[in-house]
Structure 1
Amino acid sequence: MTGCSAPDCNNSAKNGYIMKIFPRNPEKRVKWAANVGRLKFDAMTISSFC
């Protein structure tokens, strides 16, 4: 499992955090990626948030 995709966040499932995986729907994934706040962020199917 990956860590959180948010800028400056080091949380991960290994540390006991619940991770929400980016949607598989390409349109929704683009919207989520736009709200991450990272430049040139390309969300993959394994990207996640805590």
Structure 2
Amino acid sequence: MAHHIRIYEQGSPTVMRYEEVEVSSPGPSQVQTRQEASGVNFVDT
């Protein structure tokens, strides 16, 4: 299982939800990559 941080509403960092999600296998002509880290711009938060 993979985990995502999802934001459903605007607000403080407390509105972020750490959720477990199912990742399906890639289909024809698709690839699957693993992302270890991600940058977030302050203005996006």
The normalised TM-score by structure 1 is: 0.22
Bigger RCO of structures 1 and 2 (CA < 8 A, at least 6 apart):
1
Larger Rg computed on CA atoms: 2
Structure with greater strand percent: 2
